[in-house]
Chains A and B, each alone.
Chain A
Amino acid sequence: MREYALATRATDPVYEADPSETPPDEVVAPLTFAACFAAPAALAHDPELGWHWNLVHAKQEYEFHRLVRVGDVLACTPRITAIVSRGRTELLTVEVACTDPRGGAAVVTSRSTIAFFAEGGG
């Protein structure tokens, strides 16, 4: 999370603080840290999908139901919600629902649309 915060220039000094002196539940994740655990690439190993890496991220949506903190355990379930062909490009939309496994409350919902350019599968 510290590396993610540094790469995205988060200004909260908590990310630079000594982790041994900071209670983990006081460290709130940057909003888009969800990209680390709710990424559509979780499906890259699905043999039926024919994932390849000639792609770009076309669209991203997040709904934040509550903040994520260091030490949280989340259950993340990816679901393909659309596959659309547009000429030689295929658009894959994956929704990942991240919930608190104790009780099932929604934490963050991610919707990613990935554009795959013609090459092999996709």
Chain B
Amino acid sequence: MSHTQGDQLPVHEHVVSQEDVLRYAGASGDYNRLHWDGDFAAEVSPTGEPIAHGMLTLGLLANLVAEWAGGPEHVLSLSASFRAPLPVGATVRVGGEVVDVDRQGGLTTVAIWAETGEGEKVIDRRKSRAVIATR
């Protein structure tokens, strides 16, 4: 696969529902009340409302990266810096941009990001990377 600096991954858009968040909680075992209990969230959530697991957003993003890379076996590493919360029920857009191509080493580095429909940065592209093996 040949990549060029500046290549964009396709942008995927999802609405993360309470059902998605409950399913994620059940699958991952992360039942923190912040994600589903309105009374608890009113006290501790940065938005005062239930918010999605950061890892749910990174999961959406990782699936995009794996698909773009030609399969999860090509993804060597992921790093993500979580910034803005994603309110339950909100739209999230995930994407990426190739920022470095090491042809000799066979490595492509992608700046990955996620943002709400309003443009709030959920995963900060300045500090979030995926490294792809290209051979």
Residues on A facing B (Cβ under 8 Å): 1, 3-4, 6-11, 28, 30-32, 35-36, 39, 41, 53-64, 67, 117
B36: Cβ under 8 A from any A Cβ: no
**Within 8 Å CB of B63, what residues of A?**
8-11, 30-31
Q: Are B72 and A35 in contact (CB under 8 A)?
A: no
A-B contact sample (4 more), CB < 8 A, given A3-B27, A30-B66, A63-B76: A3-B26, A36-B27, A60-B54, A67-B72
| Main SS at interface, chain B | helix
Q: A9 to B35, alpha carbons, bound, how many Å? A: 18
**Chain A min CB distance to B89 (Å):** 15
B53: Cβ under 8 A from any A Cβ: yes
**Chain B min CB distance to A61 (Å):** 4
| Main SS at interface, chain A | mixed
**Chain B min CB distance to A60 (Å):** 5
Give the number of residues in B that approach A within 8 Å (Cβ atoms): 39
Chain B, residues 74-94, CB within 8 Å of chain A (1/0): the string is 011111111001000000000
**Chain B min CB distance to A92 (Å):** 14
**Within 8 Å CB of B58, what residues of A?**
32, 60
Query: Among the listed B44, B75, B82, which residue makes an inter-chain contact with A57, where contact means beta carbons less than 8 Å apart?
Result: B82
B62: Cβ under 8 A from any A Cβ: yes
**Chain A min CB distance to B93 (Å):** 13
**Chain B min CB distance to A32 (Å):** 4
Q: Are A30 and B73 in contact (CB under 8 A)?
A: no
Q: A89 to B77, alpha carbons, bound, how many Å? A: 28
Q: A14 to B26, alpha carbons, bound, how many Å? A: 20
Q: A30-B72, A31-B62, A36-B28 are in contact. Are A8 and B77 (CB under 8 A)?
A: no
**Within 8 Å CB of B53, what residues of A?**
57
Q: Are B54 and A56 in contact (CB under 8 A)?
A: yes
Query: Among the listed B14, B44, B81, which residue makes an inter-chain contact with A59, where contact means beta carbons less than 8 Å apart?
Result: B81
Q: A31-B62, A32-B62 are in contact. Are A8 and B76 (CB under 8 A)?
A: no
